[in-house]
A and B are shown apart, each in its own frame.
Chain A
Amino acid sequence: MDDLYREQIIDRYKNPRMRGKLDPHDYSYQDDNPLCGDRIRVDLRLAEDGRVSEAAFSGEGCAISQASADLLTEAVVGKSLDEIKALDKQDVLDLLGIELGPVRLKCALLSLKVIKAGVYGVDELEEDLA
């Protein structure tokens, strides 16, 4: 019962490591899921080699969306923009360590959508996530 709420997810939700804003930043993007009221902003700073040196997220929403944002923001530190573009749904699910049905999948993937939109441009993104 309640496999969705494994210790890691509750812990990340209650004690996020990556919550905050970066000012200045190289990339910042915000999006929401109006159906459930989840809202996430992700800020990224790049090092001279083009890799992410710092990342932070802010926003509000359900435990799945916020834990996913915390884990994903942490995971992109050290990655190049091309490596971020290559992230997909399964990477997020692997970070969370759970399987999700279609309704909650949207919560989990909001942060991925936001990070990729920030580095990628929104138009190409729709195609990529399809």
Chain B
Amino acid sequence: MMSAVRTIEDLDLDAIRAQFPILQREVHPGVPLVYLDSAATSQKPQRVIDSLSHFLETHNANIHRGIHVLAEEATQEYEAARSKVARLLGAASASEIVFTRNATEAINLVVATWGRAHLRPGDRVLLTEMEHHANLVPWYMLADEIGFSLDFVPVTDDGQLDQGAYQRLLEKQPKMVAFSQMSNVLGTINPVEEMTRRAHDAGALVLVDAAQSVPHMPVDVVALDVDFLAFSGHKMCGPTGIGALYARRDLLESMPPYMGGGEMIKRVGLGTFVPNDVPHKFEAGTPAIAEAVALGEAVDFLSEIGLDRVFAHDQAMISYAMERLEEVPGVRMLGPNPSQRGGVAAFTFDGLHPHDVAQILDGRGIAVRAGHHCAMPLHERYKIPATTRASFYLYSTPGEVDALIEGLYQVKETFG
């Protein structure tokens, strides 16, 4: 049976878990949920769920246009959420935050606007082998169209970016370096500040895919000095359908618009238009207003707890998880040691297919991810078709790791 919930790294796990209604449910009769798939999407606390319905019940209107009380309230709430995101990231101004559907759309926005305006045949863009497909395919698509070249920073056997190779690839003078702050498979936390400094020295701009980092650790765009940073709300206790792009104001000003439509324009004539000011220039059409407001609530929730404490908890969880996983014969962990990673544990198990592992775990109420986690090149790098991945968040408990380990022993017994 699952051991009692413990308090680690200062987080009162009972109190935190009590705020997440879904964690109270059973997934099969008498079988409680053990949710170890937060890297795919996080669960939502009651106050975020309430924030969504509260907005729809009391303030709902379209934003930026109507001259009535509801429209003003809705606009205020939406823009307040933007300011919360800006504060969370340490951005100089809320106008540097563009709301998008998710990190994927934020990256696509940069590729389609900055990329199309600045990349020419013969140019280079530097990516890495550990990227999620969201930070690969948009670049591939534009490279096919324009004819610029792509390079990839290789990953070492222990799951780090090869910094020597990075330096050599920078000598090819890429115009853009795009990499993740934290790998969604290896858990590796990349040295963003150092890599950005070196990229800037080489004359490149930097885009950081922060989908796995912003929800789990303090991220300060000014300290990191990055040019673009993308993340999703749904991995940080917010709803789906809302994410954001941070971009330096001067870059946003100089970039052409993304989608055309309402809100992104100042004026439209027959055959002409003048784009709106930033960030509105990049937010065509009615956005996910209630979701943005609820993301603001999620930012408050995480900020009140403290992302440094969330990160400390993740690290305590991954240390414990790796210690326990390594006890299980046949388990092979991917990625670096716990001090260099976040709360993601991907592993192979005895040659068994991860679908079989995940399915048996599901029978015990344990939700893990099985597959390539949208990082096929990384799996090819390690010559494995797929992995099983357990991932942790502020509501994860050591008892849930114990349940995972017991589940893996059952997998072994079933296929033994």
Contact = CB atoms under 8 A, between A and B. Distances in A.
Do chains A and B stick together as partners?
Answer: yes
Interface in B347-400: 353-356, 359-360, 363-364, 370-372, 376, 385-386
Contact of B28 (A1, A13, A64, A65): A1
Contact of B353 (A4, A14, A62): A62
B414 interface: yes
Contacts of B31: 1
B356 A62 contact: yes
Contacts of B363: 1-2
B320 to A, nearest CB: 26
Given A4-B359, A63-B353, A64-B355, A37 B414 contact: no
A37 B356 CA distance: 12
Contact of A63 (B370, B371, B385, B415): B415
Most buried by B among A35, A60, A61, A62: A62
Nearest to B28: A1
A70 to B, nearest CB: 15
A4 B28 CA distance: 15
Nearest to A1: B363
Contacts of A37: 353, 372, 385-386
A86 interface: no
16 contacts: A1-B363, A5-B359, A5-B414, A13-B415, A14-B415, A34-B376, A36-B371, A37-B372, A37-B385, A62-B354, A62-B355, A62-B356, A63-B356, A64-B355, A104-B355, A107-B355
Nearest to A35: B371
A80 B372 CA distance: 39
Interface in B142-166: none
Interface string B402-415: 00000000000011
Contacts of B356: 5, 62-64
Contacts of B386: 36-37
A36 B364 CA distance: 22
Contacts, number: 47
Given A1-B28, A2-B414, A63-B415, A36 B360 contact: no
A104 B372 contact: no
Interface in A91-124: 104, 107
Contact of A61 (B353, B359, B414): B353
Given A36-B371, A37-B385, A37-B386, A10 B359 contact: no
B359 A2 contact: yes
A86 to B, nearest CB: 29
B329 to A, nearest CB: 18
Contacts of A35: 371-372
A72 to B, nearest CB: 18
B185 to A, nearest CB: 14
A38 B386 CA distance: 10
A13 B360 CA distance: 15
A34 B386 CA distance: 10
Given A10-B415, A14-B415, A63-B415, A104 B371 contact: no
Contacts of A36: 353-355, 370-371, 385-386
Contacts of A64: 355-356
Nearest to B371: A36
A56 B414 CA distance: 26
Given A35-B372, A61-B353, 7 more contacts: A5-B360, A36-B370, A36-B386, A37-B372, A62-B354, A63-B356, A63-B415
Interface in A1-37: 1-2, 4-5, 10, 13-14, 34-37
Nearest to A34: B376
A8 to B, nearest CB: 13
A33 B363 CA distance: 24
B311 to A, nearest CB: 32
